[in-house]
Structure 1
């Protein structure tokens, strides 16, 4: 039978005569079975006004596992003898529910940890990289990822001698899990973060040249402004790394392609200056026209796309000149600082970014001397800030993005005139081995 309807307050003798056997509610029977504690066929309760018991029943049906706490609190309002009678029936069920709740919670946390391990293993290309990142053993990582694969009945990682790589199913799963984990972490941070101090880790990808020429000198100021934010700075070379390395934002110089649904913000632009050491110019003479560079040892850089940037464009008024630069050394973009060091030592001529003309750098100090200053280098790569729309809502990422915008605004103000970026050169689109092949 169901709970009795509301009625007038009854005496103790009336309540004793109204003692009834009530069937276990469906939620109790269900949880009793799940908790491996058989629910009794009925419970002997002294009938109470429906206000208390209806509240218990509704809480049991609606809240599931938490019904036991509400029920016990309500039973405590009874006399101790009646409470003991109720508790004797309820105790096995509560213990079963507690055990089930603990088991369910442990399983849920294990699955969440397994997904985090999977993401880290895919990013680090090995289980050991995930183990080091999370401070656990490789066996623990392998066990949880294996359990996740067994539960999903699909292989997510391809194991081989050199590490692991995601399968097709694994890549599909990771595409969904990465933003989901990011949103979960952001939600936890927004709830738990202090209202006055922003904290957490910001993972940024930065091209080496941007890090070396601009970011490194400015980072101490950011750390002083936001001491509770940790910056995880990673070298970034191509757009594919944005998804594979779970970056919050990237700072890239050049003409990025295939940015997808990322938000792009122009930070400014930079251009090139032709420089050499004073000793080199003294020994070989300074060029008076761009074509004179064909007689010099021009050190070239290979771009991120694999093309050697050996086609140097110059403009003076309506006159335009392109020079196929040739020299004894070609250096990858990631090692661009080697070119600077070689030029400083007098090896040859190079086309370096105009950031070297900023206060305190090599040109103002006289270590490098620019040539062809009456000509404009007719190729101006932009500097872009790229990030996913969702990360802007995260306080720690938002303050970093705003700070980067202000930093490059200061760099732009150091120039006497604004420097608009030029369109993507043909050699970037055509992907030739040498830019000079596109002439």
Structure 2
């Protein structure tokens, strides 16, 4: 027995005053209507309707049950109706997890523009360079950067690429020398982003060949912006997204090295639980970011 169907059939029989009227309203056969009511009575163990060839009436139990069922079905219709705006237009609370460094450097301006474009959306943006469990922690989506996105049941849409650069302060290179090959980094004090999956191993490619270098240093940190501060102070050399240091490079505060080598590119993805029944607020946010960042692919 499909109990929800049986409840709706029972209610329609009562309100239509006859099995035949309920069958026409629900576009079911009279036999199907009778079967649903009979199975519902068997499930409850009570008679809900007194019926003869000429008339039908509710029993005492049927009256009480009808009143309760009607409230339940009305509440269900109200709940279904409340979902309509969410399923048709971008609105409601959107919970997003995003990396702090990338958000502060690049996303924060886009987020403001998004909020201005979608006044019916409220945004709860949680900034954390560590990864969260989207489903467990109740997020609608997360922004993640990775050079190798792990296998996952999550849907991932690429929205930008973070190209890296080896750089340090001019004073550091003046004292320690400028690396000429990736292997030269083994003798340098390398500031490492500890949340990276390859913090201690930096990878470079050129002319179809790849070199992986084991790097060491006295400073590991979970923030790329903290790495930038260390580089500005002349403390070590690092492999860091160019986006974070491009102004420092342009101003001469930092200088690059190994420019004829290509470091691994970090792809940035918007990830969310499922494409099916994707809420308009999620789709709107992902589409907006992808458009805003299209020049950085």
Same fold (TM over 0.5): yes
- Number of residue pairs aligned between Structure 1 and Structure 2: 240
1:256 equivalent in structure 2? 149
Structure 1 CA distance, aligned partners of 2:59 and 2:134? 49
Per-residue Cα deviation, 1:72-109 (whole angstroms, up to 9, x for no partner): xxxxxxxxxxxxxxxxxxxxxxxxxxxx689x66xx98
TM-fit CA distance, 1:30? 2.7
Q: Structure 1 residues 185, 226: CA separation in 2 closer, same or farther (over 3 Å shift)?
A: farther
User: Are 1:190 and 2:84 an aligned pair?
Assistant: yes
Given that 1:275 and 1:369 are in contact with CA atoms closer than 8 Å, whether structure 2 keeps it comes out as yes
Deviations 1:4-29 (A, max 9, x none): xxxxxxxxxxxxxxxxxxxx954363
Give deviations 1:170-202, integer Å, cap 9, x for gaps: xxxxxxxxxxxxxx9896242489x8x743111
Question: Once the 2 structures are TM-superposed, how far is the Cα of residue 264 of structure 1 from its aligned partner?
Answer: 2.2
Question: 1:171-182 to 2 correspondence within 5 Å?
Answer: none
In the alignment, which residue of structure 2 is the partner of 1:326?
216
Aligned equivalents of 2:229, 2:219: Cα separation in 1: 12
**Equivalents in 2 of 1:285, 1:206: separation in Å?**
37
- Structure 2 SS opposite 1:309: coil
Counterpart of 1:350 in structure 2 is 238
Question: How many angstroms apart in 2 are the aligned matches of 1:256 and 1:322?
Answer: 19
Question: Superposed, which structure 2 residues align to 1:19-98 within 5 Å?
Answer: 26-27=57-58, 29-32=60-63, 64-65=66-67
Please, which of 149, 167, 172 is the counterpart of residue 275 of structure 1? 167
Choose from 399, 410, 414 the match for 2:295.
410
Q: Could you say if the C-alpha distance between residues 249 and 26 of structure 1 is closer, same or farther in structure 2, counting changes exceeding 3 Å?
A: same
**Can you list the C-alpha shifts for 1:261-301, whole angstroms capped at 9, x where unaligned?**
x3222224223211112332233332223233233211112
Change (3 A) 1:32 1:218: closer
Deviation at 1:32, TM superposition (A): 4.6
**Aligned with residue 288 of structure 1, among 180, 189, 194:** 180
Q: Distance in 2 between matches of 1:318 and 1:257?
A: 24
| Structure 1 pair 191–221 and aligned structure 2 pair: CA distance change class (3 A) | closer
CA distance in 2: counterparts of 1:186 and 1:366, whole angstroms: 60
For residue 354 of structure 1, report the CA deviation from its aligned partner.
2.3
Shift of 1:308: 5.4
Which residues of structure 1 form unaligned runs of 5+?
4-23, 35-63, 66-99, 113-183, 413-439
Deviation at 1:227, TM superposition (A): 2.6
- 1:385 lines up with 2:284 in the alignment: no
Aligned pair in 2 of structure 1 residues 283, 217: CA closer, same or farther (>3 Å)?
A: farther
Cα offsets for 1:138-159 (capped at 9, x unmatched):
xxxxxxxxxxxxxxxxxxxxxx
Bigger relative contact order, structure 1 or 2, given CA contacts below 8 A and separation 6+? Answer: 2
Bigger Cα Rg: 1
1:403 is displaced (CA, Å) by 0.3
Stretches (4+) displaced over 6 A:
none
**Partners in 1 of 2:152 and 2:86 — Cα distance?**
32
TM-score where L is the length of structure 1: 0.48
Closer/same/farther in 2, CA of residues 389 and 346 from structure 1, 3 Å limit = same
- TM-score, normalised with respect to structure 2: 0.68
Aligned mate of 1:230, from 122, 128, 131: 122
Following the alignment from structure 1 to structure 2, what is the Cα–Cα distance between the partners of residues 210 and 372?
Answer: 24
Kept in 2, the 8 Å contact 1:273–1:353? The answer is yes
Secondary structure of the structure 2 residue equivalent to 1:364: helix
Structure 2 gaps of 5+ residues are 1-16, 18-54
Q: Determine the structure 2 residue equivalent to 1:242.
A: 134
The answer to whether 1:312 aligns with 2:205 is no
Look up the SS of the partner of 1:313 in the other structure. Answer: strand
Give 1:365's aligned residue.
Answer: 251
Paired with 2:118 and 2:166, the residues of 1 have a C-alpha distance of 38
Contact 1:248 1:391 in 2 (8 A): no
* Aligned counterparts of 1:186 and 1:376: Cα–Cα separation in 2: 53
